[in-house]
Structure 1
């Protein structure tokens, strides 16, 4: 059974069709990359998967449950772990406090950092395990605003991990990272797929082709091709529409 399935997702903004009958699935243990040029509709599709935007037509299924009508917090509680293109971390709080906020949100409680929450042994265990998983244990008491860009990306993954996710929805996790940071993030994501599959939206084609088991290509709101990396590389329509190549 698919962990995530989209069936005919359609979204219009006036005359603009931002999502044009998109169907795709995310299977257990895989990384499925979603790529496409700027303006292809990737952000709109992500918002519909996450629950921030309701489709005009189509269905979103999470672990066999129709979640189309559910909002973002409800989908998160059902196991959708998300990272963002632009950081959504609480910069004034410490690394550990950000992870605690994620763990508390997963429990379904009101988000706050009152002292009893910080002393909650169960929440701390979840938060500290997530930080250890991404390599931020030594930075636990560091104020998030002072982290490097790459460390903030790692922290976003840790916060997503506190949800005990059934899947990860990752929006350009390589954005702004240098060669070293991209290599570290690639290694981290490669190991995460065994814990939960990843739907990866990414512009870094080297990272996409290194990580993805399958790739779907979105152009003008519609999926024009879906397949293995080798199949996508060889597809003439993809090479012309996105990869910028023409058949010789």
Structure 2
């Protein structure tokens, strides 16, 4: 297994005169959480879109598991094991927790869509879905309508759906968004355990969570990485304090 699971090399992306990515090169290594932080408008969402295949860079490349995936669509990267969670929920709120996990397992299988009753009866898919729910601590809520979950539980369900991909890496876009202090604490503990399953590229504004979780942090400002280092190195970097952290350092 390669030590570097995910790599971007000199990614450039512009929207007219706006340079959203300027030569971004980052890595995600096995067993780590690498956090991407920066102010609003720094280019974090554009970077994630390029990594996951929703947006093609103007130049540069994305490598996953040692393969150049720059030209591959989102679905192909997902089938390779690149699992993404979103800033805003993409769950089917009127479906049960188990049904959401089953949909994830069906998508990961690459099989064509079938009537849902037949999907539910597929024991192999149920085993994958229930295993993911167990790992996320949601198996007891399998028959609960997703809309009835707390916001934090929905975040856990999003990760469970990603787990059905049997991921080799996670890309998470602000998983703490909308959570209170207690919800953030619970999710932080869950993500800390999850990194043993697959490394996590984490985009997050909750600096308490970032400082608790991250093995490395890259700071993105105006489309450029201005610093990469450990929590202590980033906290002590005067460029980072001026550009983003301020008193939070």
The reply to whether TM is greater than 0.5 is yes
User: 1:8 is paired with a residue of what secondary structure?
Assistant: strand
Deviation at 1:179, TM superposition (A): 1.3
Between 105-114 and 138-147, the greater mean CA deviation after superposition: 105-114
Deviation at 1:59, TM superposition (A): 0.4
The number of equivalent residue pairs is 247
Matched, 1:219 2:214: no
Among 71, 81, 89, the alignment partner of 1:87 is: 89
Task: Give 1:210's aligned residue.
Answer: 212
Among 11, 19, 22, the alignment partner of 1:20 is: 22
Task: Give 1:59's aligned residue.
Answer: 61
Deviation at 1:111, TM superposition (A): 4.0
**Normalising to structure 2: TM-score of the pair?**
0.97
Q: Where does the alignment leave 5 or more consecutive residues of structure 1 unmatched?
A: none
Among 101, 104, 107, the alignment partner of 1:102 is: 104
Q: Matched residues in 2 for 1:114 and 1:230: separation?
A: 50
**Normalising to structure 1: TM-score of the pair?**
0.97
Alignment of 1:139-154 (within 5 A): 139-154=141-156
Deviating above 2 A after TM superposition, structure 1's stretches of 4 or more consecutive aligned residues are 110-114, 244-247
**Maintained 8 Å contact 1:101/1:113:** no
Q: Matched residues in 2 for 1:42 and 1:231: separation?
A: 21
User: 1:39 is paired with a residue of what secondary structure?
Assistant: coil
Alignment of 1:118-197 (within 5 A): 118-197=120-199
Q: Where does the alignment leave 5 or more consecutive residues of structure 2 unmatched?
A: none
Superposed CA offset, 1:144-171 (max 9, x none): 1121111110100000000000000000
User: 2:235 is paired with a residue of what secondary structure?
Assistant: helix
